[in-house]
Amino acid sequence: MLHMTIDELMEMMPWIADFFSSFAIDPSQLGNKRLEELGSIFGEDYFEEKGSDYQTFIDGFFQFIEQVKVLQQGSVFTVESLTVLPGHNKSGEKETFSVELKKGKVTAIVGPTGSGKSRLLADIESLAQEDTPTKRRILVNGRAPDDEERFSTEGHFIAQLSQNMNFVMDLSVEDFLTLHAESRMVDEISHIVQKIYDTANILAGEPFSRETPVTELSGGQSRALMIADTALLSPASVVLIDEIENAGVDKIKSLELLVSNNKIVLISTHDPLLALSADQRLVIKNGGISKLLNTTQDEKKHLESLEKIDRKISHLRNQLRTGEEIDLSDLLV
Ligand SMILES: Nc1ncnc2c1ncn2[C@@H]1O[C@H](COP(=O)(O)OP(=O)(O)OP(=O)(O)O)[C@@H](O)[C@H]1O
């Protein structure tokens, strides 16, 4: 690392700027200078003035890196399980059973329009403690979270991809991703920014550039960006997804990307393909959880045919969108 230039080090670990500033050094002025040259560039007097010496500066630099690395690893709080304790449905009747959601499982939430699917996601997102219309309680790893865990935004372990993603900041896609990557103190920022951008463009129907202001992205593009960002940069161990099928993004690729063995994923959906891609499904009726069904082997067996039908429907949708004539003989399964 001593032989690396300040630019190279900053590219890998932009947060080292904080260390330099504690010695009143501006790394952007040092560009192609190597770390090992800083002693001769500033001279011993400079470090003495700061109540230190060059060797202490270098030792401190490496210690700082070590400490940040420990913080980066330690900041990811893992959720092994979430428990939804019974509340009541819209008619005030008590839900009859509690549901435990385990790490590595994908759960679909199904039910008619207006039945309460988004409400359940919102209960989980807010870690409800009988203070929402359903009066449900959510336990994390078997215990009720304290107020700090509920209301602190620092290290929040739940990511929610809601139906409407509205950006309020007027930043370009690139600046938005860079800012997020910096706040996550990740290494190799430009690499991860590129990866998220490329992935979002694969998921979105319409490509967009890195310079596009996030406020100008279409609904589908915004969601594609947030899906890629959540999958590749978020440390969240619980991912809540509200009706991804209406988002104008590649829903199956999105789900594959978001699902990982060490996360709890909940997806509210009306889409049979998404619902059967999950390990289990919660059925919501009149605001209450009425059933928990495991996806059967038989249902899984038919997933492939369902995917074929779905691809054909998507193809038809694209043909319609682009004003082509429709040849329905192509759609016969
Ligand atoms: N148990 C409940 N008690 C009281 N109100 C409830 C309950 N469950 C849901 N609601 C309310 O019912 C309304 C509709 O619920 P919600 O938006 O969650 O439905 P949804 O299933 O997500 O609908 P859609 O499929 O159209 O997105 C909301 O105002 C929600 O707060």
Compute the distance from residue 133 Cα to the ligand 1 centre, in Å.
Answer: 9
In angstroms, what is the span from residue 306 Cα to ligand 1's centroid?
28
- 91 pocket-lining for ligand 1 (C-beta < 6 Å): no
Centre of ligand 1 from the C-alpha of residue 245, in Å = 19
Q: Is 114 in the pocket of ligand 1 (CB under 6 A)?
A: yes
CA of 259 to the centre of ligand 1 (A): 25
Q: What is the pLDDT of residue 21?
A: 87
pLDDT digit string (tens) for 215-229? 898 888 988 999 999
pLDDT in tens, 204-255: 878 999 999 988 988 889 889 999 998 888 878 899 998 888 767 888 888 8
Confidence class for position 70, pLDDT limits 50, 70, 90: low
What pLDDT, on a 0 to 100 scale, did the predictor assign at position 331?
Answer: 60
> For ligand 1, is residue 269 a contact (CB within 6 Å)?
no
14 lines ligand 1 (CB under 6 A): no
pTM of the shown model: 0.75
Give the model's pLDDT for residue 245.
80
Asked if residue 230 has its Cβ within 6 Å of ligand 1, the reply is no
295 CA distance to ligand 1 middle (Å):
24
What would the DSSP string read from start to end of 260-297? Answer: -TT-EEEEE-S-HHHHHHSSEEEEEETTEEEEEEEPPH
Asked if residue 154 has pLDDT above 60, the reply is: no
In this structure, which residue's CA is closest to atom 8 in ligand 1?
A: 287
Q: Is residue 155's pLDDT more than 60?
A: no
Residue 71: the pLDDT is 67
Task: State the pLDDT at residue 163.
Answer: 66
What gap in Å lies between CA 280 and CA 28, rounded to an integer? Answer: 52
Mean pLDDT of the chain: 87
Measured CA angle at 264 (ends 224, 288), to 5 deg: 95
ipTM of the complex in this document: 0.97
